[in-house]
Chains A and B, each alone.
Chain A
Amino acid sequence: MREELIISGRMNPMVDPILNIWHWQIPLYLFLGGVAAGILFFASLYYIMGRERKYAAAIKWAPMLTPFLLILGLGALFLDLNHKAFFWQLYLTIRLESPMSWGAWTLLIITPLSVIWSATWLRELKPDIHWKYPIMDEWESYFIKHRLVIAWIMLISAVILGVYTGILLSAFNARPLWNTSILGPLFFASSLSTGAAVIMLMAKSHLERNIFSRIDLMMIGIELFLIVHMFMGFQASTQVQIDAANMFLGGPFTEVFWIFVVFIGLIIPAFLEVLELLGFKIPIVITSSLVLTGGLFLRFIIVYAGQASRYLY
């Protein structure tokens, strides 16, 4: 029998006995940022493809939620900082090796763009809108004229935002569970799926709802594929990664992961979406909220389980 113990007493807060440096704020932000990235990805993609009439909810209405999602997420991130008065240090440097630096700069681009994008569509929602200052009218027509440019920048930054939330965690080789490049695509697929779920909820036309329901079904398929591959990869890897996988295959995270993420968040909504495609009437709010719940649980579980996976002691 081998046991390794710290005998001098080390009880550094938030590090011992197991790492607990990130709390609810980080997974909540990863979820909100992911949903916003998903919505803005579809909005800009379909705008560039010229589907403005066909996919009104995706291009016009759902993006109006994203400034709120992003600002709420940024608020959560700010709450997580322990040296808050120095947060501006993020914007004095660009560190290409640090995914967090990438994320900070991407958020600085995509958050104002989401506000501008939503503002350019406000007049279609409320035709008698009056801006307080005349210069706002000029800006509005300027941005409406350049929507295509905004859409392209938004598309790229939405992809970076969606992928980086996963890469952020996989950059930490100290935590074997996070140290897999599958997390990037997995979180991106989940952000597209949750984004599509919000669009489905807001879509008025049957056609649009149907299309996004199919997209969501495809994303769920990809997520299941990636989850299986993640565990296969762990099982064929080093001992610490086998241990990390075993937290989900019999360990403390087994029930919560397979029930809330895989069953409630992926399999049931996929089943409901298939039923709907076959012509059954399924209330969209059930499918959407299950997908969103699954996405939220995925972030929480991965963030907490990752902190519990380790090399030493």
Chain B
Amino acid sequence: MRFAMAIDTKKCVGCSDCVVACQTENAVPIGYCRDWIVEVNDGTYPRLEMEIRSERCNHCSNSPCVRCCPTGASHYDYGGTVLVTPHKCIGCGACIASCPYDARYTHPKGYVDKCTFCVHRVKEGLPPACVAVCPTKCLYFGDTDDPRSEVSQVLKKRKYKRLIPEAGTNPNLYFLI
């Protein structure tokens, strides 16, 4: 099993609903974000192009954060998700420095925190909170090892890119373009 997410940049309007849903679902402390929206503006007026991306942890298959963690608090879990065990984390910041996507932060309680792909919901058969609320249905979540899953299907049909694969992380967020 290999969980992944596909984000349709042609459908995303950048409403930030995914950000708020995540903060509510996961009780993310105020002032912190596990997911965020990036807007890319290209060109000069009147020839302008815009791309909107909903971004979060890439749950990389070759995670630098797991490699650099000195205690094993950052680890691979259910379906290849990358998770942090709070009581094993010493808050040294190595994983934060090692993440090219800056997807991690130090929780006010001291341990490092990040997107979990809402693994607690996924285990119950529910989609992650961000996917569930998206008003344009631009987020697809599922198992890329299963060719019948929604995410596999959409990746077969559409062109996509991944963010900085040259960092060697083998990321699992696919941006449909």
Contact = CB atoms under 8 A, between A and B. Distances in A.
Nearest to A26: B93
B70 interface: yes
B167 A173 contact: yes
Q: Which of B64, B68, B89, B90 has the most chain A CB atoms inside 10 A of its CB?
A: B90
Contact of B97 (A2, A103, A174): A174
Contacts of A11: 31, 33
A171 B67 CA distance: 9
B88 interface: yes
Q: Which of A6, A21, A83, A84 has the most chain B CB atoms inside 10 A of its CB?
A: A83
A172 B163 contact: no
B136 to A, nearest CB: 15
B43 to A, nearest CB: 7
Interface stretch (A89-97, A184-192, A245-253, A293-301): A89-97
Interface stretch (A57-65, A139-147, A207-215, A304-312): A304-312
Contact of B106 (A2, A10, A82, A101): A82
Contact of B70 (A1, A80, A95): A95
A19 interface: yes
A86 B87 contact: yes
B170 interface: no
A65 B36 CA distance: 49
A87 B90 contact: yes
A80 B98 CA distance: 17
B166 interface: yes
Interface string B76-106: 0000000000111111111011111110111
Interface in A99-157: 99-101, 103-104
Interface residues of B, number: 51
Contact of A93 (B41, B72, B92): B72
Nearest to A87: B90
B39 interface: yes
Contacts of B44: 1
Given A19-B97, A86-B88, A311-B100, A104 B38 contact: no
B104 A174 contact: no
A101 B33 CA distance: 29
B19 interface: yes
Nearest to B43: A1
Chain A interface residue number, banded: 35 or more
Interface in A52-85: 80-85
B104 to A, nearest CB: 7
Interface in A1-24: 1-16, 19, 21-22
B90 A171 contact: no
Contacts of A15: 96, 102, 104-105
Contacts of A205: none
A5 B64 CA distance: 24
Contacts of B167: 173-174, 311
Interface string B91-132: 111101111111011100111100000000000000000000
A9 B35 CA distance: 10
A9 B33 CA distance: 8
A243 to B, nearest CB: 14
A81 B91 contact: yes
A85 B90 CA distance: 8
17 contacts: A2-B42, A2-B43, A4-B38, A5-B39, A6-B39, A8-B36, A9-B33, A13-B105, A21-B97, A82-B92, A90-B71, A93-B72, A95-B69, A95-B71, A95-B72, A98-B69, A171-B68
Which are the 7 A-B pairs with shortest beta-carbon distances?
A82-B91, A83-B91, A83-B110, A174-B100, A8-B37, A100-B70, A12-B105
Interface of B: 14, 16, 19, 31-33, 36-44, 64, 67-73, 86-94, 96-102, 104-106, 109-112, 163-164, 166-168
Given A2-B43, A7-B38, A175-B97, 18 more contacts: A3-B41, A4-B39, A6-B39, A7-B37, A10-B36, A13-B105, A15-B102, A19-B96, A80-B92, A82-B91, A82-B110, A83-B89, A100-B94, A171-B64, A174-B100, A310-B100, A311-B167, A312-B101
